[in-house]
Structure 1
Amino acid sequence: MVTNPCGSWKYYTRTIVGNGGDRLLLKSPGGIYVDGNFYITSSKEYKENIHELSQKEAQNAIEALEPVEYNFKGDKKKTTIGFIAENVPDSLASYNKTAISPMEIIAVLVKEVKDQERAINELDKKIIKISKNKRKKNKN
């Protein structure tokens, strides 16, 4: 049994074989669970020191990511696209740098997309203003 701030848990798996194919139910109340969808515990009830990710932090994390193509050792048939854990920023990797955290990468991407959307909207406003000024000058 493992105990953490979210409670305690045991490894639990159950495979159900039927007409729909193999299904795996994996639950870990301390962090993740899978029931056809992948969930990560994210309630503020389990968190502290919450603050917004800055634009610079998100930008630095994205700039440090280097997507690669690779095969897992022993599987020459399937090419995978992803990242090398040892090469990603510490905030996006496991403590021992052998795995990455997709949720952290998604959070960084969402922050950057929102910032880019904000910049696009500001540019759109400037273009509209310039266009209006140009039309006014052409009427005179």
Structure 2
Amino acid sequence: MKRTPIQATVVALIAALSCASARASDPKFVTFPANIAINVALKLLPAAGKVGRVSPIYDNYRPQVQLSGERDRVTCAVRIPQSIEKVEPGQTEEVVLVCGERVRVIEDRRSFTVYEGGRLVGEGQVK
């Protein structure tokens, strides 16, 4: 079926508006440079099947972290305040992540997950 010039123009306008709408809803990111302190709330998951840990973590624990704005996991140091000393499975604490490379997180969904040897062991929110 052959389109008239008006029909072709309408189809082109609808396509253009759809693309503009998709761009307008693209997520915004917050970017953190490498080796900067990122304040987070970290929940260490208790062991349950293929998820969680049995033992606590201590200062300078270095898991793989996947932030909501990243496809890949990066190694980050978890810096635990001296007043806390350790984080037990099932516990949520305010700690600091220091990642070895630039990372970003989706601005309105500042979540992340923590992995150890491919096993999900924690989750949290960037402050």
Query: What TM-score bracket applies, with the shorter chain setting the length?
Result: under 0.3
Q: What is the TM-score of this pair, normalised by structure 2?
A: 0.19
When Rg is computed on C-alpha atoms for both structures, the one with the higher figure is 1
Q: What is the TM-score of this pair, normalised by structure 1?
A: 0.17
Q: Relative contact order (alpha carbons < 8 A, sep ≥ 6): 1 or 2 greater?
A: 2
- Structure 1 or 2: more strand by fraction: 2
- Structure 1 or 2: more helix by fraction: 1
